[in-house]
């Protein structure tokens, strides 16, 4: 039995802005595009809890936020400031357990199994309150904490009472805790899955937990199995630091050194398709496409091209790689090995990335 803590900062970007502008404290603050008197484009990235009282939410068009509360303070994002605050908070959390995993700019898990006595609610609470106080004191930010026997339940628990919340789910009570909550609270249940489940009469996590495993597999495939386990409060994934994927590389050595262009392109395309599928599965786009050619004498050359906008367009990736390879095909030596590299990976949507990484941990890839 483990004790896992999930920490999520409250109204993060807006809270940092309020910290930097003390005169904004206690007032509705919206971080995002300039609303330009209600006609501005773009969305609200987040809103202070004072602004949420007017119905303003993350991802809402800024023009709508402006209509809901024209007197709110609208401010553009200051990312370097948020990154610095995030780094400082993560350092604090890391200092409380060597088992640490940052999930996004404002949330992390720590495994505190070895730090507190299992089942001692008071001791666990004292530990969590000390962390909250340290973050408040050093960074002037408030957070919400969820504590449970696994990551899945801890994450839902941190969202249970916000802001400045602390929710401890007692060991063995995971299913009971999840049961009345809407299915949407489960990671992996988006708008579409929610609609399908609703049609089946499934509204709460408890409704979902009651559906048999075989039925879930038939209806939703592998994700159905994950959903069945999740709804039942089961999650065995470890708290572990995820290392950033910097590039996707593939290499192919021909059985015999060759000058056969068809064969070389076929090998290269196969590698690009494989790398591309890995790219899209993780919801990445790449900016740099590279190739590598090794001649019969082992001399190796690389060439790469950086495109203006990050892409996941396989046709474009293939054409770029083919063009890069041309000078090596013109060489009189035979080619022994070719390689490809997709680099400068970007993800447009960090939330999506979280979900896909979460699924990877569930071994559902």
For the annotated catalytic residues, the residue numbers are 107
Burial class from Cβ neighbours inside 10 Å (0-12, 13-18, 19+) for residue 144 reads buried
Q: How far is the CB of 26 from ligand TTP (least distance, A)?
A: 16
Decide: is 61 part of the binding site for ligand TTP (CB under 6 A): no
Non-local (6+) Cβ contacts of 266 within 8 A are none
Non-local (6+) Cβ contacts of 190 within 8 A are none
Decide: is 8 part of the binding site for ligand TTP (CB under 6 A): yes
Decide: is 30 part of the binding site for ligand TTP (CB under 6 A): no
| Residues 72-111, mask of contacts with ligand TTP (x by CB under 6 A) | ---------------------------------xx-----
58 touches, from Mg ion, ligand TTP, none (C-beta below 5 to 8 Å by class): ligand TTP
Q: How many CA atoms lie within 13 A of 20 on its CB side?
A: 15
Decide: is 59 part of the binding site for ligand TTP (CB under 6 A): yes
**Nearer to ligand TTP among residue 159 and residue 296 (C-beta):** 159
d(CA 245, CA 242): 9
Q: Which two tokens stand for residue 65?
A: 């936020």
**Nearer to ligand TTP among residue 59 and residue 200 (C-beta):** 59
Cβ(11)–Cβ(162) below 8 Å: no
Q: Which residues bind Mg ion (CB under 5 A)?
A: 8-9, 12, 106
Mode of pairing for the β-strands spanning 143-148 and 166-168? parallel
* One residue of 46, 167, 283, 362 binding ligand TTP per CB under 6 A: 46
**156 by DSSP, 3-state: which?**
helix
Decide: is 348 part of the binding site for ligand TTP (CB under 6 A): no
197 touches, from ligand TTP, Mg ion, none (C-beta below 5 to 8 Å by class): none
DSSP string, 310-333: EE--HHHHHHHHHHHHHHHHSSSS
Question: Which span sits near ligand TTP by CB under 6 A: 10-18, 178-186, 239-247, 248-256?
Answer: 10-18
Binding site for ligand TTP (CB under 6 A): 8-13, 45-46, 58-59, 105-106, 162-163
């Amino acid at each position: 039995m483990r004790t896992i803590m999930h920490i999520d900062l409250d109204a993060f970007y807006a809270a940092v802005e309020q910290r930097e502008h003390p005169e904004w404290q206690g007032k509705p603050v919206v971080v995002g595009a300039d609303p330009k008197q209600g006609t501005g484009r773009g969305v609200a990235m987040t809103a202070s809890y004072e602004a949420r009282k007017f119905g303003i939410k993350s991802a809402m068009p800024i023009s709508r936020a402006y209509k809901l509360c024209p007197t709110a303070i609208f401010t553009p994002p200051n990312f370097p400031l948020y990154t610095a605050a995030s780094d400082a908070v993560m350092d604090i959390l890391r200092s409380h357990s060597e088992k640490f995993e940052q999930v996004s700019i404002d949330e992390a898990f720590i495994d505190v199994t070895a730090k507190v006595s299992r089942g001692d609610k008071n001791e666990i609470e004292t530990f969590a309150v000390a962390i909250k106080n340290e973050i408040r004191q050093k960074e002037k930010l408030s957070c919400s904490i969820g504590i449970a026997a696994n990551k899945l339940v801890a994450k839902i628990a941190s969202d249970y009472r916000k802001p400045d919340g602390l929710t401890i789910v007692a060991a063995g009570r995971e299913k009971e805790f999840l049961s009345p909550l809407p299915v949407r609270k489960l990671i992996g249940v988006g708008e579409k899955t929610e609609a399908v489940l609703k049609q089946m009469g499934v509204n709460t996590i408890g409704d979902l937990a009651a559906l048999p495993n075989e039925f879930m597999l038939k209806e939703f495939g592998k994700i159905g199995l994950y959903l069945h386990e999740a709804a039942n409060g089961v999650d065995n994934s470890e708290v572990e630091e995820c290392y950033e994927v910097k590039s996707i590389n593939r290499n192919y050595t021909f059985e015999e050194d060759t000058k056969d262009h068809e064969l070389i392109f076929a090998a290269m395309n196969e590698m690009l398709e494989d790398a591309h599928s890995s790219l899209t599965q993780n919801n990445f786009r790449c900016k740099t496409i590279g190739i590598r050619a090794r001649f019969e004498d082992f001399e190796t050359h690389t060439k790469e091209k950086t495109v203006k906008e990050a892409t996941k367009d396989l046709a474009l990736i293939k054409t770029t790689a083919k063009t890069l390879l041309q000078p090596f095909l013109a060489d009189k030596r035979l080619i022994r090995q070719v390689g490809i590299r997709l680099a400068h990976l970007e993800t447009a949507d960090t939330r999506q990335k979280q979900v896909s990484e979460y699924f990877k941990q569930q071994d559902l890839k």
